Structure 1
Amino acid sequence: MAVQPYLARFAEFVWIWDQMLGFSMPAHHRKMADWLEDCWKSGRREMLLMAFRNSGKSTLVGLFCAWLLYRDADLRILVLAADLDLAKKMVRNVKRVIERHPLMASLLPEKRIDWGSERFTVARTAVLRDPSMQAVGIGGNITGSRADMVICDDVEVPKNSDTAHKRAELREKLSEIAYVLGPKGAQLYVGTPHSYYSIYARDARSEVGESVPFLAGFSRFELPIVNKDGASNWPERFDVAAIEAMRARTPERKFQSQMMLEMVAPVAGMLDPAKLRFYDADAEITQGNGRMTLRIDGRTMVASACHFDPSFGSMRGDGAVVACVYICDQGEYWLHDMAWLRASDPSGLVDQPAHGDRPWRDEASQICAQVADFMARHHLPSLRVETNGIGRFLPNILRRELKTIGWSASVVEHYESVNKATRIEDAFGAVMGAGLLHVHRDICQTPFIRQMRDWHPDGNGPDDGLDAVAGCILHDPVRLPRVDMPIRRADWRGMSGVFRADSLFNP
């Protein structure tokens, strides 16, 4: 009976390599090594390894690739990274391990023909078209490639995750992995989050249309720099003093993202949704003493603002948005509803008449009809229309649509001359800073919250929702809550004026 050769465990494989380099094996490397080996041997082929920056995770994953080839020389490994240079860095590291590790001498080919920094092939029995290991940037072409293991090493970086469009492109490119892997292929993602909408997020982001997280079903290993007890996960290199010094000289959000693995953007946006006050209550209309009263969550509303920022045509750029904000008797703002409007038939030709006996409805009329319905639904007495550009001919169309549905409301025309970024800053800055902006939960299902997280004055991402709400806030007068003065109060000011004193002097 043939004796099976002894195969070292992954932790042993790493320990031997560390000893060769004169290093000791850190405890957290042992934890990661055991987790990777356990996933592989138990058949879990979808893995996510997140660890704090400078934890040596990419180095360890490179050793894991070498260990897999040590166990099966016919394995094909594809390394994807945000750019080709980063992917080549891991391939070079694995190639160096194969050349120097004492357990891998048998994998060195006699003629090192395919033995470069971007791809190499070890001595193997199978005749395969693809190399043992290959490096590709996330934007590279992997069509036609085949792999048994795909390593996604830092595929998410700030430059490809700072806008919704870039994040969508990244997800689309990563979806190509399914066409590269074999039937029992494995995926291993390695990195740190760079966005609240990170591909590594544990929970689905419903506001961007996710029903499940991007890496749903993946086995996860997460190692922040500080554990639950407040101790360092690598005390030999990062003691408490070093961690506090790093925290002091690093922006807080970047530290939380890159060192604590929290799903926040490393660069803080100016509009933080955490400062919003969310509510679920509906608006309640009551009649009494000949007056109508509107209340939300027990508060009486005393004013309203509605802003319509028009836009027609394609889905690219800003859309047509209408927003409704109420102001309560305490001077606080309640963003109750907003809508992104689109004509059902942009050409203006429809099969059925929209109102009355009119045979067709142009795009402007369709959108204005939606705005009129929005105003009636929320009992709004007036609306401000931005008349820049295409908006200058809309007020009369909107008045016509209001008359059609029988809703009496004023339409105020407004030409905007202030820069959009300045308007958004002015509107949201003080209101959010003071915690005065309430937002209905249903608005979380719109692009509004995502636009807040991504917005920056110098950015060029979509901000149509922010602009509409800013219009509501800026064009309503500031209302101060009523303050009842006490009946009696002390007056410390000096006395002045004319006084008359009685004198008993009799000369």
Structure 2
Amino acid sequence: MTPVRSNADAGFLEFAWVWNRRQRMETPPVHRRIARWLEARQAAGETRLLLMAFRGCGKSTLVGLWCAWQLARTPETRILVLAADAPLAVKMVATVRRIVERHPLCRHLIPEGAESWASDRFTVARDGALRDPSMMAQGIGGNVTGSRAEVIVCDDVEVAGNCDTPGKRAELRERLAEAEFILTPGGTILFVGTPHTEDSLYRDPREDGAFLRGYRRLAVPVMNAAGASAWPERFPREAIAALRERVGPLQFHRQMLLQPVAASAVRLDPAAIIRYGDEPDYREAQGRGVLTLLGHRLVSGGAFWDPAYGRPGSGDASVLACCFSDGEGRFFLHRLGYLTHDPSSPIDPATQQCRKVAALLGELLLPMVRVETNGLGKFLPALLRRELGPAGVACQVIEHASTRAKEDRILAALEPALAARRLHAHESVFRTPFAAEMAEWRPGAPGARDDALDAVAGCLLAEPVRLVRGVRPVPRPSWRGA
């Protein structure tokens, strides 16, 4: 093995290369690019840095090596790791501790007595009697008042759960502003992450109103403008295309291309739905039932009822979405019922709707229906069960309480299915207002109708993720000899 220079002389790229060699791993070009950038910024004396790299790039692991390199060069350095929650910060600190224990250039850092050597904080062998540990983990909501550090690493401080409303984003910025009071004069702050919202912390620092205004920035998307992958061995073009189909264009642009695009820029295009006119074919053979549609055997199905008062021509619509899926991950939106009631009927409105739901469930042989119990639907599951018996329909009724924002549910369900061209819909669905709702819907737009979108989203999200069984290749005679 090539002899390594002294701890003070080894550059960061060499430090990372030595570690990867000991772990029997390569140092890919994307990691070498980030390592050179971090080392060059430190050599230039720049202390406000923003590193954005696509999900799965290994940026947190590389930043952990950078922290160990800082300690190897200057053991008196104090590093504070801030993350969205404490377990995420602890994960990085524990990783750095393992690197210090095993890296050949960090042997001088291991103290004789492990006085402070925990997974969330540790102190290396150093001169002086500093109060703060060499490295400490803390969640963004924790109390860091009174701490001091020469380096602060903000690792994934922005996540989906703390930036989805203006109030949460304001609170996050307020807490991060405290880092400036913890940092010692001349210290370094390094932000590492990917954007999760339009008004992201990681907006271009050159833009007006950017939180990290004046920071030196490196952005490493999964592919460049020409479509070349930043890491072809792990992310070939076929894998990138498949990932885009699975997560949808919005999350792909944010997490993989590092573009904080607005949710309103995403349009649910009804033209991406595959239209069909066939009906399911049910047959029995050897005591087993088989349901097929368009030549595909259906393996699951269900309905989702988003109830409303259902008065004709007014208020929210009461919508029942009925959906099937096959073993290849295709979805078939077969019926979309806009349920109303007759105000002049002696039968109460809820019972009228339950009878219509029971009729549709029996017609399509659906094994279960989820009823959203938020608001008006609290008493409907029991009433629906009562109506299923006289109708002769064997169907399980599941109470469903939605806790996720409606816009997030709609985007999470429909975006990936449309992008992958896996959503099919019966002709009858296009004779309802569903297609118009899709074309006109925008996240956050006031007054937009989304009753059917919400019901379809509930139906799709209830379906399990299926792994498509691949074709096993025919083995060839071995060319390696005996």
TM-score, length-normalised on structure 2?
0.55
Corresponding residue of 2:216: 219
Deviation at 1:185, TM superposition (A): 1.2
Q: 1:177 aligns with which of 179, 184, 194?
A: 179
Alignment of 1:433 with 2:447, yes or no, is no
1:311-330 to 2 correspondences below 5 Å:
none
Deviation at 1:249, TM superposition (A): 1.7
Contact 1:152 1:187 in 2 (8 A): yes
RMSD of Structure 2 on Structure 1 (CA): 3.0
Contact 2:83 2:138 in 1 (8 A): yes
Structure 1 counterpart of 2:77, which letter?
A: L
Distance 1:218 1:101, change over 3 A: same
Alignment of 1:256 with 2:222, yes or no, is no
Q: 1:100 aligns with which of 93, 99, 102?
A: 102
Distance 1:91 1:165, change over 3 A: same
Seq. identity, %: 49
Distance 1:133 1:169, change over 3 A: same
Distance 1:232 1:165, change over 3 A: same
Distance 1:4 1:108, change over 3 A: closer
Corresponding residue of 2:83: 81
Structure 2 counterpart of 1:260, which letter?
A: L
Contact 1:77 1:147 in 2 (8 A): yes
Deviation at 1:32, TM superposition (A): 0.2
Corresponding residue of 1:69: 71
1:4-43 to 2 correspondences below 5 Å:
7-43=9-45
Deviation at 1:240, TM superposition (A): 1.1
CA distance in 2, matches of 1:220, 1:204: 10
**SS at 2:178's partner residue?**
helix
Q: 1:154 aligns with which of 135, 153, 156?
A: 156
After TM superposition, the runs of 4+ consecutive aligned structure 1 residues lying more than 3 A away are 3-6, 271-275, 429-435
Contact 2:223 2:257 in 1 (8 A): yes
Corresponding residue of 1:383: none
Flag structure 1 segments of 5+ consecutive residues without an equivalent. Answer: 206-210, 276-420, 436-451, 456-462, 471-507
CA distance in 2, matches of 1:4, 1:162: 47
CA distance in 1, matches of 2:153, 2:11: 20
Structure 2 counterpart of 1:60, which letter?
A: L
1:323-360 C-alpha deviation (Å, 9 max, x unpaired): xxxxxxxxxxxxxxxxxxxxxxxxxxxxxxxxxxxxxx
Deviation at 1:4, TM superposition (A): 9.0
1:326-365 to 2 correspondences below 5 Å:
none
Contact 1:160 1:167 in 2 (8 A): yes
CA distance in 2, matches of 1:115, 1:41: 30
Contact 1:49 1:220 in 2 (8 A): yes
Distance 1:5 1:173, change over 3 A: closer
In the alignment of these two chains, the number of paired residues is: 285
CA distance in 1, matches of 2:148, 2:175: 16
Larger Rg: 1
1:127-276 to 2 correspondences below 5 Å:
127-202=129-204, 211-264=208-261, 268=263, 271-272=264-265
1:187-234 C-alpha deviation (Å, 9 max, x unpaired): 0000000000000011688xxxxx431101101010000112211100
**SS at 1:233's partner residue?**
coil
CA distance in 2, matches of 1:64, 1:5: 13
Contact 2:267 2:439 in 1 (8 A): no
Contact 1:66 1:97 in 2 (8 A): yes
Contact 1:47 1:187 in 2 (8 A): yes
Flag structure 2 segments of 5+ consecutive residues without an equivalent. Answer: 269-405, 411-432, 450-482
Contact 1:80 1:137 in 2 (8 A): yes
Distance 1:5 1:139, change over 3 A: closer
Deviation at 1:264, TM superposition (A): 2.7
**SS at 1:196's partner residue?**
coil
CA distance in 1, matches of 2:176, 2:194: 16
1:152-172 C-alpha deviation (Å, 9 max, x unpaired): 000000000111111111001
Structure 1 counterpart of 2:183, which letter?
A: L
